[in-house]
Copies of this chain bind each other. A is one copy, B any other.
Amino acid sequence: MLEQPEVSIIMGSDSDLPIVKKALETLKKFEVQFEIKILSAHRSPEVLFEYSRSLDERGIKVVIAAAGGAAHLPGVIAANTILPVIGVPIKSKSLNGLDSLLSIVQMPSGVPVATVAIDGASNAAILAIQIIAVSNKNLKSKLKMFKTELKEKSLAKNKNLVI
């Protein structure tokens, strides 16, 4: 990945990787360059702090942050950058991700996190691509094709519908 990454993907723990992989795959499919980090708001706060502050000047355009439980990662990044931050609540062991969702989405005035569904890493990637596409006609075309594909795949399933 020698090209300039446009998306930074950060997860709080390597246990989030099986979910986060779906974001990577989606970005690769759209040929959007990204970098990926394991950084914790609680275990490596100063590294996360410095990293978050560097994102804009390093040319990153959008951040995807995935975390579970008391999921502070997306909010802490959003506090330290002016870039749009997309939060992915990871399904938690005890409360099924309701804790992750509320910890990420209920941000105070002034510091939004763009929250997607619990375990919705693939949609986080789509959202990141939509954001970059605002000023990228090539990506817009790919998104239109993607929407058409979505439709066609969905409709094609009617053919095999044996009842």
Contacts and interface: CB of A to CB of B under 8 A. Distances in A.
B43 A150 contact: yes
Interface in A1-42: 12-14, 17, 24, 36-42
B42 A107 contact: yes
A102 B134 contact: no
A94 B94 contact: no
Given A102-B70, A151-B47, A82 B133 contact: yes
B110 A99 contact: no
A109 B78 CA distance: 23
A158 interface: yes
B135 A107 contact: no
A45 B161 CA distance: 19
Interface string A41-75: 11111110100000010000110000001101001
Contacts of A161: 14, 17, 36-38
Contact of A94 (B110, B118, B135): B118
A161 to B, nearest CB: 6
A5 to B, nearest CB: 11
A102 B108 contact: no
Given A45-B79, A102-B99, A93 B72 contact: no
13 contacts: A38-B155, A40-B79, A41-B79, A43-B79, A44-B155, A70-B102, A70-B105, A82-B133, A83-B130, A95-B106, A95-B118, A112-B130, A114-B115
Closest 7 CB pairs of A and B: A114-B114, A135-B135, A112-B123, A82-B143, A99-B102, A94-B118, A42-B111
